[in-house]
Amino acid sequence: MLDTTTAESADPEQYDVIIIGAGIAGIYQLYRLRQLGMKVRVFETGSGVGGTWYWNRYPGARFDSESYTYAYSFSEELLDDWNWSEHFAAQPETLRYLNHVADRFDLRRDIRCNSRVVAARFDEAARHWTVTLDSGEQAVTRFLVTAIGPLSAETLPRIAGVQDFQGQSFHTYRWPHEPVEFSGKRVAVIGTGATGVQVIQTIAPEVAALTVFQRTPNWCTPLHNAPITPEEQARIKADYPAMFARLRTTPGCYIHNTDPRGTFEMSAEEREAFWEKLYAEPGFSIWMANFRDMLTDPKANALFSDFVARKIRQRVRDPAVAEKLIPNCHGFGTRRVPQETRYYEAFNLPHVRLVDTRETPIERVTARGIRTSDAEHEFDIIIYATGFDAVVGAFERIEFTGSDGRTLKQKWADGPKTFLGLQSAGFPNMLTIVGPHNASTRCNIPRCIEQNVDWVTELLRTAQQRGITRFEATEAAEAEWSHHVEELADGMLYSKVDSWLTGINTNVEGRDVRRILQYQGGAPAYRAHCDAVAAMNYAGMVLS
């Protein structure tokens, strides 16, 4: 056990490790650190575990990754005793799963819910972090692990009058725990990202009237979800070891792997037949298993974008509406591809209306609804599917103060600077699971979370064994990694497009400059970098 007795006050509880967040990352990190016999505390804002799957209770929330590829892989018993009901499970099932994990491994006794961390300050003399909760309570820890998620800082739109609306209104991330009654209601949805698409297609058949406020259309493709039959269940379980081995080899740890062929290496007929096959396949196949040049060659990308545009035109009856739903300022796959189930068909329903806010901008939210430049719309419910201050936002909502008194927000003002996306110079003894410059946000995330957590655990085991009380990335290693991450993104079409992947958020001051937030070299290469650093006695870090 590490010595944490140097706290300036006898009052705060003292830990070897504090983990912020009890989502997929925090739960697994706690499990692993328990095995080291460390004294660990997890602080969680929510009233329960589950992170993303605790908060996102909006109608239609479900996986875009195949359920069995998304679940934890660390325990054979857990894999054995859990049966997913669908290929792409819905949120309530995933939340049940994460609660099952917390119970199965008796993790709850070290997790404190309803405890939001608001600040953490490193004390250089004591070599520890003092963590402050929203209650004002403090705790002291030698090591600090953030497991705060890349999409946990939700953003309401910067539109005048949002507080004036007299009906019900919700951001999708802050969805109430009680059921929301939609039948007979006039509903507005603002936002058509992956979340908005799931909400729209789910509530459209239930509501009296639905108005979708779309600023930028996205390239949405069919999810093709289905229940898992008993035969499939048996096959999936028998294949677990081989499947997880395969997932380690693909760029994003999905079961879909890039097609090695180039778009123009075959006849138009062959190409078209391949794309038809992808369009009929479940999940991200169409994004992840497309031709190798799809996300780098503008011509290849434009040709495939045309293919998807034709599909949209076939599915939407009103040609004018179809054209509005077809993106015209970014190519397929350069933003997150929403996976849909009869999304386009929702716009064929007589009570569903599409408002293009580039043509008729929203002027303000009023007591009764939404006023655009050409009309006053009345609603009973407004749903804000307006996304997140992605990847770095959650880090800014906590005041992290490093060894020289500078905050992380100040340090990252011009974009994140990290070593491996797991450490930042000036913030010793702090590790950022799924942090910026990490491979995780381009990944079937639990796969990359397990890799991050295992790496962090090995570093903490090393610290424990050698009596190390301080570690920190060097400025040089951090500069080299940050440069490498930016270089990798250079040839990618997505890096020239506005979206949360490039850190753009019109609802947050200062988020109008594109930034590279993710490592783009693929999960296998990322893992190799991390492993090499560990094998070289944590080259790029100073351990003392």
Ranked by CB distance to ligand NA7, the top (closest) residue is 193
With respect to ligand NA7, which residue has the nearer C-beta, 384 or 481? 384
With respect to ligand NA7, which residue has the nearer C-beta, 194 or 422? 194
> Given CA atoms 80, 81, 87, 93 in this order, what sign does their dihedral have?
negative
With respect to ligand NA7, which residue has the nearer C-beta, 56 or 457? 56
Least Å distance, CB 156 to ligand NA7, is: 8
Report the distance separating Cα 512 and Cα 158, nearest Å. 14
* Contact yes or no for 42/21 (Cβ under 8 A): yes
* Contact yes or no for 286/310 (Cβ under 8 A): no
Report the distance separating Cα 311 and Cα 344, nearest Å. 10
Beta bridge partner(s), residue 542:
472
Least Å distance, CB 190 to ligand NA7, is: 5
With respect to ligand NA7, which residue has the nearer C-beta, 197 or 541? 197
For 319, other C-beta atoms within 10 Å of its C-beta total 9
CA distances from 368 to 29, 190, 208 (A): 46, 15, 16
Least Å distance, CB 407 to ligand NA7, is: 25
| The two structure tokens encoding residue 429 | 């003894």
- Among 188, 205, 230, 221, which residue's Cα sits nearest to residue 354? 188
Instruction: Report the interface residues with ligand NA7, using CB under 6 A.
Output: 151, 157-159, 190-196, 213, 215-216, 336, 357, 385-388, 500, 506-507
| The two structure tokens encoding residue 104 | 């199965």
| The two structure tokens encoding residue 240 | 């677990």
Report the distance separating Cα 472 and Cα 340, nearest Å. 44
Report the distance separating Cα 353 and Cα 436, nearest Å. 38
With respect to ligand NA7, which residue has the nearer C-beta, 494 or 500? 500
Least Å distance, CB 384 to ligand NA7, is: 8
Least Å distance, CB 104 to ligand NA7, is: 27
> Given CA atoms 392, 396, 397, 402 in this order, what sign does their dihedral have?
positive
Least Å distance, CB 413 to ligand NA7, is: 22
Least Å distance, CB 349 to ligand NA7, is: 20
With respect to ligand NA7, which residue has the nearer C-beta, 369 or 428? 369
DSSP 250: S
Least Å distance, CB 202 to ligand NA7, is: 14
With respect to ligand NA7, which residue has the nearer C-beta, 50 or 193? 193
With respect to ligand NA7, which residue has the nearer C-beta, 388 or 400? 388
